[in-house]
Structure 1
């Protein structure tokens, strides 16, 4: 194959209709050789071929373009159709028919998207054939136009796939950057926390304690944000949320600790719990605590302050259930469909602390446990329900 023409051959080879077009043209005209060729001023290259005459040309094989009539077709941008070379004033003394020994011949231009010349749909046979009939010429022209249209579709698809690949690469680099940044931020945050701990022990000045406590809370929020970013990057890069699975014999105590911490942070809010005692589950207890914490924070932020938030957790009939319910306006289907997407916020929502990753991370924890998370909103209540197989 001449160097640099492989892409053009592959373009034609990728069009599934081309072999059927060649077979149809051969059957319709009686020609024993039909092909699609890529043609430039310097080269003629076989792209697809139906060869019943034994010429031996295969896709990628070249001919000297000077020995073909396709060069004339390219120059004139018009078909050449010959029923009988011996009766053709224009071609009976031409070197091409003599070289290849054909009596009947046609060549119809094929164009790229935008009108650029690609090559020809052509055919020949040592026997005479009726090719110049208007209906036959029109049909062969239509087939050439169909190939041109398929080239345009393939070109559009290739551009779309290239753009998608670039977007994927950009997204992967972005998420790798987020993961590295999140990892590298933990070291200075750890140093700040250590410094705060030292200062709290060494300074008994009552005026300094509130400042140190605010610093400690800020470090905690920043650490939580870093954890969210790292979990987000892992989830989006295909690794999923990392789990340390083992049998937790007192998951109820893990949940009660999370609830107690949030009661301390939101003393004005009422949390009502129905948690099965001695709750056992094979899971990552830390991740389950993170899931409950994220769901509760979401309910505390978005739920009505006039009603309690309810937490229920239990195992029944081989499945584990965790549900967090709050009061508030009913969610629309559109909003429900977006809730577990990263960084998503409702258009009317005011900016709040956090990155908008809490529910996305909940969904990733659910997926990593082989479970499901869904939202049920009706009337004045909204519930987030997590279920997974109970394999304890």
Structure 2
């Protein structure tokens, strides 16, 4: 059997309701052979069969369509229903009933959604049966229509799944490309940063120092963007953001982040209340990245007239880190989108980042089995990271 016919058989076999449809039709009509067949110009192919007569036809069986009455159904597009061959002047002398030995027969056309002909829902029996009453005819047409609709639904599902697989493969390829590109960018960025350090030491000229410092800050920002992209692709491609959990004192790490952000945003005020001796098991570099991203977000979106406030402490068995800024109150719809990748608030300027910072914050919090919460009331927005239980050192 060629691939096209096999595909048609598989289409019917994929419909889980088909066996129940055949059983119901057989019980309703009393016919002991019922099937769904795909019909072409040359072939009649059994796609699903209920055979209590041992006719010898099974799934995939193939007949010359000219030896069946389904050829007439295909050509006319109308059902053929025979209660009793011997009592029918039109069918009494027909070769097909005589050769196949049946007295009752029906064949209901099955059309695809686009109007093209697929085949038939058909049945036969050596004994006469009452098939042509309105209820039976309507019910058999209903079952044929049900098969038709399911064929279309399954076709759409297959197409959707194929599109989804293609889109997924494209997305994975794109993310792999981004990861490789980001990795390769690190080397030239490292050279630029090293070069700015050398220039700063060797050229004390204030004008040159200003230009070199601008280059250094731009390269540092580019390096942070590359790191964000790499973390994003790791998270999306299944390996997750890598973690190195260990016992550490977070206090100096968090203080260093605050000092670095003060250097990057010298015109802004940052008030920090970081408790001493914050000993806990974590990845300190990732917690530093989390705080850096939260601080950058607060500095970009917060009011320039009010300081950004950072607090870190152990509260009972929990480590709690908060970053708060004054400014416009956030609507719940905005809060709901904050941790989505590539999400940008309306207040964000085009040069401030890729929209991955808060997404990575959320990934880091989850990787630590912690939580990140946002509240925005009365013009004050607070990001709260909780991690616990932890052991105080």
TM-score range, shorter chain: over 0.9
CA distance in 1, matches of 2:262, 2:192: 26
Superimposed CA distance per residue, residues 27-53 of structure 1 (whole angstroms, 9 cap, x where no aligned partner):
111001111111111222222222222
Superimposed CA distance per residue, residues 251-270 of structure 1 (whole angstroms, 9 cap, x where no aligned partner):
11111111122123333433
Larger deviation, residues 319-328 vs 253-262: 319-328
SS at match of 1:113: coil
User: Are 1:309 and 2:308 counterparts?
Assistant: yes
Q: How many residues get paired?
A: 391
Deviation for aligned residue 1:122: 0.4
1:59 corresponding residue in structure 2: 59
CA distance in 2, matches of 1:380, 1:332: 11
Structure-2-length-normalised TM-score: 0.93
The aligned runs of 1:296-335 (5 Å cut-off) are 296-335=295-334
Superimposed CA distance per residue, residues 110-141 of structure 1 (whole angstroms, 9 cap, x where no aligned partner):
01121111110001111110112232212211
2:340 corresponding residue in structure 1: 341
Runs of 4+ in 1 over 4 A off after TM superposition: none
2:255 corresponding residue in structure 1: 256
2:101 corresponding residue in structure 1: 101
Judged with a 3 Å threshold, the aligned counterparts in structure 2 of structure 1 residues 273 and 196 are, in CA distance, closer, same or farther, namely closer
CA distance in 1, matches of 2:167, 2:71: 41
2:180 corresponding residue in structure 1: 180
Deviation for aligned residue 1:204: 4.5
SS at match of 1:354: coil
CA distance in 1, matches of 2:79, 2:254: 80
CA distance in 2, matches of 1:349, 1:251: 30
CA distance in 1, matches of 2:3, 2:161: 25
2:386 corresponding residue in structure 1: 387
Superimposed CA distance per residue, residues 231-254 of structure 1 (whole angstroms, 9 cap, x where no aligned partner):
111122222211111111x11111
SS at match of 1:387: strand
CA distance in 2, matches of 1:244, 1:155: 48
Judged with a 3 Å threshold, the aligned counterparts in structure 2 of structure 1 residues 137 and 4 are, in CA distance, closer, same or farther, namely same
Judged with a 3 Å threshold, the aligned counterparts in structure 2 of structure 1 residues 175 and 13 are, in CA distance, closer, same or farther, namely same
Contact 2:217 2:264 in 1 (8 A): no
CA distance in 2, matches of 1:349, 1:191: 30
1:218 corresponding residue in structure 2: 218
Deviation for aligned residue 1:317: 4.3
CA RMSD of aligned residues (A): 2.0
Deviation for aligned residue 1:107: 0.3
Contact 1:79 1:108 in 2 (8 A): yes
Judged with a 3 Å threshold, the aligned counterparts in structure 2 of structure 1 residues 177 and 145 are, in CA distance, closer, same or farther, namely same
2:19 corresponding residue in structure 1: 19
SS at match of 1:5: helix
1:271 corresponding residue in structure 2: 270
CA distance in 2, matches of 1:42, 1:318: 78
The aligned runs of 1:1-392 (5 Å cut-off) are 1-248=1-248, 250-347=249-346, 349-392=348-391
CA distance in 2, matches of 1:127, 1:315: 87
Judged with a 3 Å threshold, the aligned counterparts in structure 2 of structure 1 residues 28 and 273 are, in CA distance, closer, same or farther, namely same
Contact 1:109 1:119 in 2 (8 A): yes
Unaligned 5+ segments in structure 1 are none
Superimposed CA distance per residue, residues 133-177 of structure 1 (whole angstroms, 9 cap, x where no aligned partner):
232212211211121122222222223223222222222222111
Superimposed CA distance per residue, residues 37-73 of structure 1 (whole angstroms, 9 cap, x where no aligned partner):
1111122222222222223433333233232221221
Contact 1:312 1:324 in 2 (8 A): yes
Contact 1:2 1:62 in 2 (8 A): no
Contact 2:300 2:348 in 1 (8 A): no
